[in-house]
Structure 1
Amino acid sequence: MSTDWSSALLNKKALCLLFCLFLAACSSNKAGVSNATKGSYSGSTYTVKRGDTLYRISRMTGSSVGELARLNGLSPPYTIEVGQRLRVKSSASAGASRTASRSTTASRRPAALPKVDAPPPGQRCWRWPTSGKVVLGYSTADGGNKGIDIAGQRGQPIYASAAGRVVYVGNQLRGYGNLIMIKHTEDYITAYAHNDTTLVNNGQQVKAGQKIATMGSTGTDSVKLHFQIRYRATALDPQRYLPPQGRSPSC
Structure 2
Amino acid sequence: MLAGRLIRHPFRLLLCLTLGLILVGCSSDSGDGSTYTVKRGDTLYRISRATGTSVSDLARLNNLSPPYTIEIGQRLKTNGSAGTSKSGKPKGSTSTAKVVPSSAVPQSSWPPVGQRCWRWPTSGKVILPYSTADGGNKGIDIAGSRGQPVYAAGAGKVVYVGNQLRGYGNLIMIKHSEDYITAYAHNDKMMVNNGQSVKIGQQIATMGSSDADTVKLHFQIRYRATAIDPLRYLPPQGSKPKC
Give the TM-score taking structure 1 as reference length: 0.74
Q: Is the 8 A contact 2:182 2:222 kept in 1?
A: yes
What percent of counterpart residues are identical? 68
Contact persistence 1:72–1:86 (CA under 8 A): no
How is 1:75-154 mapped onto 2 (pairs within 5 angstroms)?
75-82=65-72, 84-89=73-78, 94=80, 97-98=81-82, 115=106, 117-154=109-146
Cα separation, 2, equivalents of 1:38 and 1:98: 15
Alignment gaps of 5+ in structure 2: 84-90, 92-98
User: What are the residue-to-residue correspondences of 1:1-251 with 2, within 5 Å?
Assistant: 12=8, 16-22=12-18, 26=22, 39-43=28-32, 45-65=35-55, 68-69=58-59, 74-82=64-72, 84-89=73-78, 94=80, 97-98=81-82, 115=106, 117-251=109-243
Answer whether contact 2:129 2:141 (CA < 8 A) is retained.
Answer: yes
The offset of 1:67, in angstroms, is 5.2
Deviation of 1:223 after TM superposition, in Å, equals 0.7
Larger mean CA deviation between 17-26 and 209-218 belongs to: 17-26
Aligned residues between the structures:
220
C-alpha displacement at 1:58, in angstroms?
4.1
Query: Distance in 1 between the 2:130 and 2:6 partners?
Result: 29
Distance 2:61 2:178 in 1: 30
CA–CA distance in 1 between the matches of 2:60 and 2:111?
Answer: 35
List runs of 5+ in structure 1 lacking aligned partners: 1-7, 28-32, 103-109
Tell me the amino acid that sits aligned with residue 45 of structure 2: Y
For 2:195, what is the secondary structure of its paired residue?
A: coil
**More contact order relative to length (CA 8 Å, sep ≥ 6):** 2
CA contact (8 A) 2:159 2:173 kept: yes
Q: Contact conserved, 2:7 with 2:13, CA < 8 A, in 1?
A: no
TM-score by length of 2: 0.76
Task: Provide the rounded CA distance (Å) in 1 between the counterparts of 2:22 and 2:6.
Answer: 24
- Do the aligned residues in 2 keep the contact of 1:24 with 1:53 (CA within 8 Å)? no
Deviation at 1:88, TM superposition (A): 2.1
Q: Residues of 2 paired with 1:217 and 1:132: CA distance?
A: 15
State the Cα distance separating 1:172 from its structure 2 match.
Answer: 2.2
Deviations, residues 90-130 of structure 1 (Å, cap 9, x unaligned): xxx72xx349xx9xxxxxxx9x9674612222222211101
